[in-house]
Amino acid sequence: MDFYIDYSVITSSLGILFHALGIDLYMTLFSVVLGTLIGLVVAFALVSERRIFRILSGTYVAVIRNVPLLIIVLFIYFGLPDAGFVFSEIPSFIFALTIYAGAYVAEVFRGGILAIHKGVGEAGMAIGMSNLQIIIFIKIPILIRSTMPALSSTYISIFKDASVAAIISVPELTFHIRKINLETFRTIEAWSTATVFYVVSCFLIAFLLRRVERRVAIPK
């Protein structure tokens, strides 16, 4: 059989592929936003003076980070309906990716909290602020700014991890690429296209996050 390259199978489905990429971005956005909120709460629980908070949050992070995302996705997609909670593919996957993202973001934030100079919190106390006010108005704003570089790479990883949704037939990018591969046997064309889509998307996301990072950076 002669080897040749034919991208027509790709160009004819570009619309579908872009739509599929949109689904990845959509799922990522949800998971990143919700995961960041979870991560914030969990991070403060991880460094809490209350033992029970540390145990609960520590268990969550340990379990989620030590289980492959694929297992979490399958567990939630096939397991929850058995327990009476039925979700369609996309919400189910967003749920899985969110709790996965939450654990990673929590660890990033935990490092950021430990890096905040102890005196900054004490200065807040000394001018009469409550612990909650210190967390909301001082620690979180410092945290978001100082961890932005590490958060960015976590967010990009999570975007790539959205491809795992293919396993439960979410019609996202990897799912469609695999479909094209199986239907046309244009293997190289299919997967090289996926590579380009992912590389360009990640590059653009990184570029955007870099701008945010510069904007929120603490002036020196």
Residue 178 near other proteins by CB under 8 A:
no
Residue 131 near other proteins by CB under 8 A:
yes
Binds other proteins (CB under 8 A): choice among 141, 183, 187, 199? 141
Closest contact distance (angstroms) between CB of 218 and other proteins is 5
Contact 181, 195 (CB under 8 A): no
Binds other proteins (CB under 8 A): choice among 1, 5, 83, 218? 218
Residue 137 near other proteins by CB under 8 A:
yes
Binds other proteins (CB under 8 A): choice among 54, 56, 74, 145? 145
Minimum CB distance to other proteins smaller for 9 or for 140 = 140
Residue 115 near other proteins by CB under 8 A:
no
Phi and psi based region of residue 218 (left: phi greater than 0; alpha: psi -120 to 50; beta: remaining): beta
Closest contact distance (angstroms) between CB of 139 and other proteins is 10
Closest contact distance (angstroms) between CB of 131 and other proteins is 7
Binds other proteins (CB under 8 A): choice among 49, 128, 207, 214? 128
Nearest-10 Cα torsion for 192, 196, 197, 202: 140
What's CA 139's distance to the chain center, in Å?
Answer: 22
Contact 150, 199 (CB under 8 A): no
Contact 31, 97 (CB under 8 A): yes
Residue 142 near other proteins by CB under 8 A:
yes
Binders of other proteins in range 15-44 (CB under 8 A): none
Contact 28, 165 (CB under 8 A): no
For residue 93, how many C-alpha atoms fall within 13 Å in the half-sphere facing its CB?
25
Interaction mask 61-100, other proteins, x per CB under 8 A: ----------------------------------------
What's CA 23's distance to the chain center, in Å?
Answer: 14
**Closest to 74 in 3D by CA, of 59, 93, 90:** 93
Tokens describing residue 165: 């949704």
Q: How far apart are CA 137 and CA 36, in angstroms?
A: 17
Closest contact distance (angstroms) between CB of 125 and other proteins is 6
Query: Which residues lie near other proteins (CB under 8 A)?
Result: 117, 119-120, 122-131, 133, 137-138, 141-142, 145, 218-220
